[in-house]
């Protein structure tokens, strides 16, 4: 009887351990999703950046943020423009890692890339 009771106690502790591990993992994942941004890799080619801008803008339906007069127009370069719209796409689609794939030209960062009047969501 004692052996059976100790096995049940061990099983209960083990299940409790698993429960806390998985719940802590979910909380960390949710925190990472909230405090993460998608930007273009600095090593991405101009062709990849242009494709990313076109894809994200078509999916979002509005890219006025990177147009002249928009808050993220400057600096006026492909890397900046691609990063802004890639992050908008990433944020609009749930901040899942696969929403920052962009054929290996996107990278998830955990430091807010916002600057000046250009706010990354």
The residues, ordered by sequence, that sit 6+ positions from 95 with a Cβ below 8 Å of its Cβ are 33, 34, 36, 38
Structural domain boundaries enclosing 5: 1-34
Q: 86 near 38, Cβ under 8 Å?
A: yes
Q: Are residues 108 and 91 in the same domain?
A: yes
- What pLDDT, in 10s, does the model give residues 4-47? 666 666 666 666 565 665 654 454 455 445 799 999 999 999 99
pTM flag (> 0.85): no
Q: Are residues 41 and 28 in the same domain?
A: no
- What pLDDT, in 10s, does the model give residues 52-104? 999 999 999 999 999 999 999 999 999 999 999 999 999 999 999 999 999 99
- From the list 47, 117, 121, the residue with the least C-alpha distance to 82 is 47
Q: Are residues 118 and 106 in the same domain?
A: yes
Q: Are residues 41 and 95 in the same domain?
A: yes
DSSP-derived secondary structure letter, 109? E
Q: 38 near 100, Cβ under 8 Å?
A: yes
């Amino acid at each position: 009887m004692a052996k059976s009771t100790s096995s049940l106690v061990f099983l209960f502790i083990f299940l409790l351990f698993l429960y806390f591990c998985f719940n802590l993992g979910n909380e960390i994942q949710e925190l990472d999703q909230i405090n993460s941004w998608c930007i273009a890799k600095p090593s991405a080619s101009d062709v990849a950046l242009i494709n990313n801008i076109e894809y994200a803008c078509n999916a979002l339906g509005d890219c006025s943020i990177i147009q002249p007069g928009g808050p993220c127009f400057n600096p006026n370069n492909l890397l900046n423009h691609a990063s802004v719209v890639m992050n908008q796409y990433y944020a609009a689609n749930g901040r899942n890692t696969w929403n920052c794939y962009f054929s290996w030209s996107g990278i998830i960062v955990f430091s807010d890339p916002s600057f000046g009047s250009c706010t990354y969501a």
